[in-house]
Structures are given as C-alpha cells and as structure tokens.
Structure 1
Amino acid sequence: MNRRKALAFLGLAGLALAGRPALLLADSADELANQGQDALTDGNPAKALPILLEAQAKDPRNDRVEALLGRAYFQQGDARQALTHFTAAVRLNPEDTLSRIMIETISQFPQPTAGAKSRETPPRRSSPLAGEARAERQALLARNASPHRDGPFRLLIDPGHGGADSGAPGEGLREADVALDLSLRLARLLAAIPDGPTVSLTRTADVALPGWARAALAGYYGADLLLSLHATRLTTEPGVAGVALYTFARTPTDALAGAAAKAESMASGRHVADLGRGGQEYFARAVRQAAGTGHTVRAAALAAVLARSWPADAPLPLRVGAGPFRLLAEADAPAVLVEAGFLSNTGNAALLAVPEKRQALAKALADALLAVVREPAKIGS
C-alpha cells in the first residue's frame, strides 16, 4: 500500500469512526414508534405523524408503525389514509385485531373518492325504524359531524347490539335498531353544538361488534365517557318503564339492575369466536387496566351529574342503578349503560316507535350530557 492509498484508507476509517456515535444515537423504528404513540396519547397527531413516517422509512415492514400511522391519520380526520395504513398493518400482522376493527369502523362511513363502495352491512330484515336510522346516519354525515371534531370532552357513543345480534328477543321493534337510531340522533344534536364534546360512535350501521371490541375502542379513542345505549326487554317485569342509567357494580343495587344486566348479557352473548386472532390478549389487557384504575368511580360521578341534569320535560323519567354489566366492567374508560326505555313495556315500546319521541329522548340525553361537558370541575376524578 503506497502513501496516498494509506492516507485515503485512514481518512475513510476516520469518517467511519466519526459517524459511528451518530449511528448509535439514531432512534430505531420501535423507539420512534414509542415517541409517536406518546404524542398520539397526548392528543397531538400532527406531532406524531412525521415521527411515525420516519419510523416507517426505517422499517417498512413494521406492523406496529403502520397501525400507529393509521391512528394518527384517523385522529386528523383523514379516513382514507387511515384505512390504507390499518390495512397494511393487518397484511403484515393478521393477528392485529384492533386494526381489523378500525378497518370495519372506518368502512361504515362513505369515503370521499368517486367510485368508492361502502362496506355497510344492510339490516337483516327491513323495518321502518331501520330505515329511519339510515336516514339519521345520512343526516349526521351531511352535517360533517366527524368523529374527531375538536372539543374538550371525548364522548364515545355505543349503539348496543347490531348485525346478527338484534338485542333482546321479542316481537316488534329490534333493540339494535332503536339503539342505533337514538345514538345517531344524539350524535347529530351534539355535533351541532359549537362547544360540545368530540363525538365518536362504535358503529353507524347495522353491523355486529363484539363487546370486548367496544370496550377496547373506548381506550383507543381516549374516551372520557363511553355511553352505551340500549332498550332491553324484561319479559318477567312488563311493568318496568322509563330510562335507566347504570354503572358497574359486582352486586346489583336492586332486582331491576340485576335483571337488566342478565338480559343484556344473554342478548349479546360472549362472542367467544371473536376472541381469536389476537383479540383475547387485548381484551384481557383492557380488563386489567379498567380494574386497576378509577374508571368505575369516575363513571359513578359522571352518572350522578347526568341524573341531576335530566330534564323535567323529558318524555320518560330516569332512574339510576348499578349492576354487573359485562361491557361496563371491560371498558377501558368510564362507562355508563343507558336503557332508553324498555321494549317489554307496551307504553315505552309505543313511544319508541314514534320518531318525534325518539328525537325528544335524544334531546334529553344531549342536554344532560352537556352538563357533564360544561362543568367538569364539579365532577370527582
């Protein structure tokens, strides 16, 4: 090796050594993913997005990065980009059940591209109420009531049941249709309020969604409150009527709370088949998190404010209770279940069959919820 080649070799070696600390200090894709996730948890998708894109450039086959990119775009309101990344996450990791759920959730909304096809599942049987629920959904979408409108309080509305799970069995109205129609009316009312909450829904069409997925979505959305709407049938108690607001308790506060919890559990089932493909792990983690936090205490405080704020002119009176409702135990957020009337009661069923009465009931719920949104300092944490 001559002198010129030796100097060139030493120069290259020096550059390599000089650059090595920088390489050692460079963040890996997983480290960047952690930073991006922290930004998303803080509610800052604009900060998270460039970090996650850098992570994607470092490791294009990292399914966690793709899932977080989907979440970042979704929080920014870009449903199409979110769908692209959630789909990539599932392609890379078929066990990513949460990304699968988000694909189904996003696909309930029409995408703003010509020729795009909605994946909405039509109701399994035609009914006037199902048609009215679809009309409410279109009205909600027409008002641009995005699930991620800015707001100080994050509300996740969960229309109970759906798809093959029609809710409490019986003649007449489907519980799933009643729950969806009321939920969409409520979301539409809240979306029209400038200082209202950020509103998300677990479903906007007649689609099935297992309870564990609803519970996980509460944490995914960072919900301050999960409000699950139902209208069950208690065939052994046909005289029971009105609106019932429930929080979680291992022991029911009364016989009615116990009967309602049992009825909802029997209607929904456990969806054991849906706990595969990675869902069971997420479900178990959500349960552990809920059990280790003050979600139940917080939910009781929120429920108390809702009850105090229930309008005197509401179409149905309200009662409060607690019981072993599975969804409320599993939810990764403070959660309240509302029986918006009882379909086993002929008077309640007749009221819920009238669109104007359902609108009045949704308005009463919206008014009570606004008391929670606007007076958070009065609510214990």
Structure 2
Amino acid sequence: MNRRQLLLFLGAAGLAAGWPQWLPAAVSSDELAGEGQAELTGGNLAKALALLLEAEAKDPRNDRVQALLGRAYFQQGDARTALVHFSLAVRLNPEDTLSRLMAETISQFPLPAGGGAGREPASGRTRPSQLAREAQAEREALLGAAARSKRPGPLRLLIDPGHGGTDAGGVAAGLREADVTLDLALRLARLLAAARDEAAIQLTRTADVSLPGWARAGLAGFYGADLFISLHAARVADPKASGVMITSFAREQSDALAALVCQTENAASGATASWASRGGEGVFVATVREAAGQGGRVQSREWASRLARAIPAAGPLPVRGAATGPLRLLDEVEVPAVLIEAGFLSHPGDAAVLADADKRQALAQGLADALLTVARTL
C-alpha cells in the first residue's frame, strides 16, 4: 500500500485527523506523476490522465508531469495537446531530450484544426544548402497535396529519410547523406501522393531534424504502415560499391557489401543510443504499439526481392538487387520493412548522380513506379 492509498484508507476509517505531523498530509505532484506513469505504461490511459491532471494542478511547473501528459495525449491521438505539453516540458527542462524529440517530430506535420500550426523545427544550420532549399520546396508541394487528399489508399507507406539533424550520415563531394535522403524521400512521397487511390504516404521526418532509430521504428506501428522504407546513400569502405540495393532483415548478411552496409548503418544507429538511455524509449514504444495494435514483425524479404525486380533498368543508377543483413533499424520495426541504398556516396559516379536534381527525380520516379507495381500484385 502506497502513501496515497494509506491516506484514503485512513480517511475512510475516520483516522486521518490523527495523522502524524512528521508525515505529509497530501500526496505530492511527483508521487502522482509516478502513479500516472505506471498506469500509462500499463495501458490504463483514462486513469493515467486523471492522475497526471491532478499532479499538474498541484504543480504546473513540474517538467516530469508535463512530459508524461504529452505522452498520454499522444497515446490518446490528440497530437495538438500533446505538442503543448511536450513543448512546456522542454521549456521547464531543456535537458529533456525525449520531450524535445517528440515536440520536433509532431510539429513537422500539419496539426488538426483548432489552433495555430506547430512550429517548424530548427535544423541547427544557419544557411541552408541548395539541396536543402530544393528539399524544402518538395516538402511544401507534398504537404499541399496531402492536405487535399481525403481518402487513404490501400498501400500505407511510411518513408524514412535516413539520418538527419546532428547525424549527417555519409559526407562526400559536398553532399550530406541526410540532405540527399530527405530530398529523395520528399520527391518519392510527392510522386506517390499523386496516386491517391493507390497509396497513403507518411514520412518520419520532413525537415533536417535528429530522430533515433527506435522512434522511427515506433512510428511505423503508430501509422499502421503496410511497408516501412528507409532511404540511404551510404559512404562505405568499398569505393567500387555502386547502384540501388534493397536490404531486408536477416540474422546473417547475404554478401560482403551487405555486411558493409549493416556495419555503416548500425554504427549510425548506435550514435543515438543516448536518447533511449534516459528511460523514455520504453514509454514511447509502448505508446505507439498500443495505439497501433501491431503484432509481431512480418518478414520483408519478398518486398525487397520484388522491388529490386520492378525498378526500371533504364534508371540513372544500376540495380544491384536484393540483399539481407542484421540491420538494427529493420529488426525494431514491427511491419514489413526494407532499407534502400539509393546509390553510394563513396562511389564518384553515384555521388554525381545524387548531386543532380533531375537524376534524383528520375531515381525517385523509378522507385515510385516499382512500389506501385509491386503493390498492385499483393
């Protein structure tokens, strides 16, 4: 029996008047927050909200309470209210990296009617590159198309632009992998959004922000995606590696290049482990999985092999085909998932293709055509 339960018991028994002076006569905001967090983790959303709102009434400047309220409202599906509480938690405690992550993630996307739009997350770079400006134009066009679309298509696709924010990914020939993947993802999303009867598109990020792997994986379940695609253009140790390579998860790598890709991408995922070490990973993942009701991870090898066969051979980059390997990100995703290396920045020819906006558009078109072709056969 905790202190709050004991107080209620004594009150019911008429003994509260004799409560010793050396014990507090009221439950603190922190104690209520602890109980609310336990209920939230256990899936008792209504009870958790009641406890957390009571805690907020006692101490509205308790950053832990504000963060937990953000998570509770996010689980409830109220993104606007969740954003308010996450933002307040960050103002009260700038070291709360999980709340900052959630605020930046939510504010990337248009919020439901009922107030002002969410703020645009800062990229941390004072002068955007030409590639970043092109990506911004694609983002605005995509969001405009998404706002006009009212009916989701049969293929629910979550596109994940790899890296972002402080994680630039591979850097070569003046290109950051994070910029390349964002621009390519936005072009791909815009092309697929035009096929409104066949595809419903979400992205894990639409700006240059940091997002750890476990959050990307959790969003796949939250959006109820039929397929999760993580786009990359790695810089690997083999300068001869070139072309489009589609990898699905397996405990063993299929070849030497798959091993290099897994080593490179898993190292980048490991760089963000400190986000999860603050104790928020479990709450976030439990929240999105509870909201989505997703079961176990579905095998993705068929998606990878079919996509590799469906990409047009006349595209700007050769198609290497499908591969498998122990990619940490794909292991955490609970829906069909593939990682696409859309060229390799370590290869001068691939880097030249990825630096050309017209060729990036052609590459995105080939991926869009392949996705729709495979989706029509499933």
TM-score (norm: length of structure 2) = 0.72
Percent of paired sites with the same residue: 52
Q: Which has the larger radius of gyration?
A: 1
Q: 2:129 aligns with which of 127, 130, 137?
A: 127
- Give the letter for the 2:308 counterpart: A
SS at match of 1:322: strand
| Cα separation, 2, equivalents of 1:61 and 1:96 | 22
| AA matched with 1:209 | L
SS at match of 2:175: coil
Q: What SS class does the counterpart of residue 306 from structure 2 fall into?
A: helix
Alignment of structure 1 residues 267-282 onto 2, 5 Å: 267-282=268-283
Q: Which one-letter code corresponds to 1:302 in the other structure?
A: W
- Aligned to 1:156, which of 154, 158, 175? 158
Tell me what 2:195 maps to.
193
Aligned counterparts of 1:186 and 1:348: Cα–Cα separation in 2: 18
Residue of structure 1 in register with 2:22 after alignment? none
Once residues 374 and 98 of structure 1 are traced to their aligned partners in structure 2, the CA distance between those partners, rounded to angstroms, is 39
Deviation at 1:91, TM superposition (A): 10
Residue in structure 2 matched with residue 105 of structure 1 by the alignment: 105
Is contact 2:70-2:83 (8 Å) kept?
no
Q: Which residue of 1 aligns with 2:74?
A: 70
CA contact (8 A) 1:314 1:360 kept: yes
Stretch deviating more after TM superposition (112-121 or 156-165): 112-121
Q: Is the 8 A contact 1:110 1:117 kept in 2?
A: no
Structure-to-structure mapping, 1:1-381, within 5 angstroms? 60-61=53-54, 67=71, 69-71=73-75, 73=77, 80-81=80-81, 83-84=83-84, 101-109=101-109, 117-123=119-125, 126-145=128-147, 150-234=152-236, 236-282=237-283, 295=297, 297=299, 299-318=300-319, 319-376=321-378
Contact 1:328 1:335 in 2 (8 A): yes
Partner Cα separation in structure 2 for residue 100 and residue 326 of structure 1:
23
Q: Is the 8 A contact 2:72 2:82 kept in 1?
A: no
- Deviation per CA, 1:193-227: give whole Å up to 9, x if none: 12132211111100011112111222222222110
- Counterparts in 2 of 1:255 and 1:145: CA distance versus 1, 3 Å: farther
Cα distance change, pair 184–148 in 1 and its aligned pair in 2 (3 A): farther
Change (3 A) 1:145 1:345: farther
1:112-151 deviation digits (Å, cap 9, x = unpaired): 7569642332546642212211121122122235899622
Q: Residues 205 and 72 from structure 1, CA distance in 2 versus in 1: closer, same or farther, beyond 3 angstroms?
A: same
| Cα distance in structure 1, aligned partners of 2:98 and 2:221 | 11
Tell me which amino acid in the other structure corresponds to 2:154. P
- The Cα shift of 1:164 comes to 0.8
Q: TM-score, normalised by structure 1?
A: 0.71
SS of aligned partner of 1:316: coil
Q: Measure the CA separation in 2 of the matches of 1:374 and 1:104.
A: 35
Identify unmatched segments of 5+ residues in structure 1. Answer: 1-28, 39-51, 377-381
- The residue aligned with 2:59 is none
Partner of 1:44: none
Distance 1:359 1:138 in 2: 16
Letter in 1 for 2:240: G
What is the SS of the residue equivalent to 1:105?
helix
- SS in structure 2 at match of 1:143: helix
Consecutive unaligned residues in structure 2, runs of 5 or more = 1-35, 56-64
Give the distance between the partners of 1:59 and 1:284, measured in 2 at CA.
20
> Partner of 1:199: helix, strand, or coil?
strand
Secondary structure at 1:295's aligned position in 2?
Answer: coil
Partners in 2 of 1:213 and 1:176 — Cα distance?
17
**Deviation at residue 100 of structure 1 after TM alignment:** 5.6
1:229-256 CA distances to partner (integer Å, 9 max, x unpaired)?
000112x321221100001112110000
How far apart, CA to CA, are the structure 2 residues paired with 1:72 and 1:367? Answer: 36
CA contact 1:70–1:86 (8 Å) conserved in 2: no
Q: Is the 8 A contact 1:162 1:209 kept in 2?
A: yes
CA distance in structure 2 between the aligned counterparts of 1:283 and 1:56, rounded to whole angstroms: 16
- The CA deviation at 1:54 is 11
Is 2:173–2:351's contact at 8 Å kept on the other side of the alignment? no
